[in-house]
Amino acid sequence: MSDLQVAFPASVADLMPAYDDIPEDFRRNRGEARPWIRFQQDWFFRGLPGAVFTPKDGIDKATAMRHLAVIQGSFEPKHEHKEAAVAYLASLWLANPPVSPADVAAAALQPDSLADPDADRQAELAEGRTARQPRGSEPKMTAVYPIDLSAIRLGKGSHEDGPPPGDPNCELCLFEWFNVLVTPPNGGPHITDDCPPDVSKVLHIFGMRLNDALPNDRRQELVRFLPGPDQPSPLAGTRDDGLDETRSYMALDWLIRTYTPAWLDLAGLTAEATALRDLRRIVDLVAAQAAGPVVRDAQSKAAAAGDAAWAAAGAAARAAARDAA
């Protein structure tokens, strides 16, 4: 079962293909919900870059943004899922700008998505759930599968039916390789992108989306986050280390004070971009709530600027990214 259960609005779910009509690789494990949820995510978000919606989709831009807000707030129900949702959103749009970055930042500040982590923590303790372990209290996993890390190639997407590890044509994503490397060889390669037991769920989600967003050459730089035979992964020991809230606010801070202003500048909305950059660093719930009015003002001004400005800004940014690569 996926760690993140996305509750799509009925109007979106009704448009999705029937379960038996989806590709076989998404429904291989009928007893698990994860392949279907992943397909829902991919199906919906494919329509977002460039705000191109076909008549078949039946969704205009305003409706899509309302769905975004619902989706962003629907990660159920533990607070670590709320934290992961922000990182998920930020990483999702690294390479594919959304309908409007200002709209996305505003959606990330929806009240339901900013649940007080202290209140959630009190609920955990009241229900008798295990307290967080101090950082470094668990042994960190190192690689036990015999393979040279320099020979590893990272690929995009799921690779459960591709060439197996050891084959020169084998390509797996970051966490598929991670799980292969920490599985004893006599158990056979364990190809899954599930979150490893000692890795932060926020970093896991961010890593999966970053793996798929990066171009092939840049994706290979993520190999350094894999465990080696004598050296644990830099991600090891991050599960329940108490830092996921901080990581999520880092993602939200980047989304609001770096990513959105860059696009506002390209759209000619320099005053609004400056207002976002001048916000104090978003490190907690209070700072996030204080940023809300400024973000919503930028969202309103961006909407007034018109679709043409956003289209031009997106084209310019993509050209700049290609030139810088």
How far, in Å, are 12, 66, 68, 175, 244 from residue 9 at the CA level? 5, 10, 10, 29, 28
**Beta strands of the chain (E only): which ranges?**
none
Per-residue pLDDT, 161: 59
Please list, residue by residue across 235-261, b when 16 or more beta carbons sit within 10 angstroms of its beta carbon and e when fewer do: bbbbbbbeebbebbbbbbbbbbbebbb
Residue 203 CA neighbour count, 13 Å, CB half: 23
Residues 6+ apart with CB under 8 A from 273: 260, 261, 262, 264, 265, 298
The residue ranges of every structural domain in the chain are: 47-130+246-324, 149-225
User: Does residue 58 register a pLDDT over 90?
Assistant: no
Position 275 scores a pLDDT of 92
CA 206: distance to chain centroid? 5
Q: In whole angstroms, give the CA distance from residue 179 to residue 257.
A: 35
Distances (CA, A) of 261 to 287, 292, 311: 17, 15, 16
What is the predicted pLDDT for the residue at 306?
A: 56
| Segment of 136-140, 168-172, 192-196 carrying the highest mean pLDDT | 192-196
Query: pLDDT band for position 159 (50/70/90)?
Result: low
pLDDT tens for each residue of 73-91: 433 333 333 344 444 444 4
State the pLDDT at residue 274: 92
Contact 101, 267 (CB under 8 A): no
Provide, rounded to the nearest whole percent, the portion of the chain with pLDDT above 90: 2
Residues 221-272 pLDDT 10s: 888 888 887 778 888 888 888 888 888 788 788 888 887 888 787 777 889 8
